[in-house]
Amino acid sequence: VVCGPWDAALGPMLEQQPGSVVSLEGSALIDTVAARDVCRAAIAAAERLDSPAVAGQAIFVTKGEAMRSHDLAGLLAKGLGWNLVLLPQVAQTCIGFGLGGRRSVMEFLGRPVPCVAPKDLLLRALVEKTFDNSRAFHCLDFSPELSVEEAVSLAVADYRLKYPDPKVK
């Protein structure tokens, strides 16, 4: 999960459901990285394209530290001063059924769910993998600098710039 200003995943969710951050309960583990760190890694790779260790190779750029997906949502909710709404495990099954499931979750919550495709929400919640980022360190001399907390703070600051009116909360 890439976090930071202009976050493509968090932005639509925040715009759709101001006042609440919705996440699935459970133990799914995700790996995160700050958008700024991804840019630094891309520049480092571009500078080393002549190297066989870099050219044409897949290099994972992550923090290499697992966290629970709902903990990331919790950081976002805390930063915004919003409520964290955890959907129960049964919602995963509903979401898996597509639009009908989305309607069921809406009825369960009594309000719309975030503007994320149900299959994408389910897949993101069920991904339980962290990537070894040692290749980025060895081939690109890259180590992530920003913590997930700092990246979320940057995303929140960006959101606040876009929506400075406190009534949007």
- Between 152 and 19, the more confident residue is 152
Q: How far apart are CA 7 and CA 89, in angstroms?
A: 26
Domains, the chain, in order of start with CATH, read 2-18+27-86+127-164 (3.40.50.720)
Cβ pair 5, 35 in contact under 8 A: yes
What is the pTM (predicted TM-score) of this model?
Answer: 0.67
Give pLDDT, residue 6: 56
Give pLDDT, residue 162: 78
Q: How far apart are CA 118 and CA 135, in angstroms?
A: 33
Residue 67 has pLDDT above 90, yes or no: no
Query: Which residue is listed with tokens 């050219």?
Result: 55
Q: How far apart are CA 55 and CA 105, in angstroms?
A: 46
Residue 53 has pLDDT above 80, yes or no: yes
User: Is the four-CA dihedral 25, 26, 30, 34 of positive or negative sign?
Assistant: positive
Grouping H, G, I as helix, E, B as strand and the rest as coil, residue 14 is: helix
Q: How far apart are CA 133 and CA 38, in angstroms?
A: 12
Percent of the chain with pLDDT over 90: 15
Q: pLDDT tens across 68-110, in order?
A: 878 888 888 888 888 887 777 666 666 555 545 555 556 666 6
Residue 144 has pLDDT above 90, yes or no: yes
Confidence of residue 116 (pLDDT cuts 50, 70, 90): very low
Q: pLDDT tens across 24-52, in order?
A: 666 667 788 888 999 999 999 999 989 98
